[in-house]
């Protein structure tokens, strides 16, 4: 883990669902994440159908810490050394990714916004473990929430789900690991997300497991 650096801003670049380089890089990052590799064909289909927007996370070229962060990323994952080019022709080195689900096939998202505004779901947030500890996750959430709130999406509510503390504690206990200082659930609460329910769903592991997830939402407007 990197200490002593703070990256307050990240850039988002559209994932190209038809680029072999983009597909392979996402596969490598999902392998590093530990789950979701099997979801790639579905994510490609959803992107083509306009149901999902996947974004790469990178540091701006003028960030004073960019070279340090990218060097750590490449040292840990040399197979991810090459830059990618987004659909606008911009070259960048992805250090993570995050998605917006515009339509979630598992739930009627309109139920969760009394004002009737558009709702999206934030999913698949991943920041490379080689560069965590610098607020990159927070910066990525700031960026994706801003993208959801502004045109053309203009969303009023964002949803997400995460494993509750009790499930995480049980999973880590099996591996003899302590709980993190701040759990995912607590981290999202600090960002203004509110609990609205639980749902059992299958994980993206192979083989999948049925686990309980906590459902959270945040009003952007």
> Tokens standing for 48?
């083509």
Name the residue ranges covered by the structural domains of the chain.
Answer: 11-160
Question: What is the mean pLDDT of the segment spanning 158-174?
Answer: 83
Given its phi and psi angles, is residue 71 left (phi above 0), alpha (psi -120 to 50 degrees) or beta? alpha
Pairing of strands 157-162, 119-127: parallel
Q: pLDDT by residue (tens digit) across 111-158? A: 455 555 678 999 999 999 999 888 999 999 999 999 999 998 988 899
Report the top-level CATH class of 11-160: alpha beta
> Which residues, in sequence order, are CB contacts of 132 under 8 Å at separation 6+?
1, 2
130/29 Cα distance (integer angstroms): 12
Helix (H) / strand (E) element for 189: namely: helix 184-190
> Which residues, in sequence order, are CB contacts of 136 under 8 Å at separation 6+?
7, 10, 57, 69, 95, 96, 127
pTM beyond 0.75: yes
Task: Report pLDDT for 103.
Answer: 63
Distance from CA of residue 91 to its chain's centroid?
21
Percentage with pLDDT > 70 across the chain: 86
Q: pLDDT by residue (tens digit) across 195-217? A: 999 988 877 666 777 888 999 99
């Amino acid at each position: 883990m990197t200490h002593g650096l703070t990256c307050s801003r990240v850039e988002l670049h559209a994932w190209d669902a038809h680029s072999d380089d983009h597909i392979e890089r996402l596969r490598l990052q999902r392998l590093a994440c530990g789950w979701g590799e099997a979801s790639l064909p579905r994510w490609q289909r959803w992107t083509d159908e306009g149901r999902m927007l996947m974004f790469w996370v990178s540091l701006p070229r003028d960030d004073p810490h960019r070279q340090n962060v990218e060097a750590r990323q490449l040292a840990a994952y040399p197979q991810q050394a090459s830059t990618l080019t987004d659909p606008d022709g911009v070259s960048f080195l992805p250090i993570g990714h995050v998605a917006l689900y515009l339509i979630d096939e598992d739930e009627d998202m309109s139920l969760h916004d009394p004002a009737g505004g558009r709702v999206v779901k934030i999913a698949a947030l991943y920041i490379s473990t080689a560069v965590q500890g610098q607020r990159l996750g927070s910066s990525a959430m700031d960026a994706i929430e801003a993208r959801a709130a502004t045109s053309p999406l203009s969303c009023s509510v964002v949803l997400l789900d995460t494993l509750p503390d009790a499930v995480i504690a049980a999973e880590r206990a099996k591996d003899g690991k302590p709980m993190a200082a701040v759990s995912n659930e607590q981290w999202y609460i600090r960002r203004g997300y509110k609990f609205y329910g639980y749902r059992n769903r299958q994980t993206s592991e192979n083989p999948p497991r049925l686990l309980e997830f906590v459902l959270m939402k945040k009003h952007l407007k």
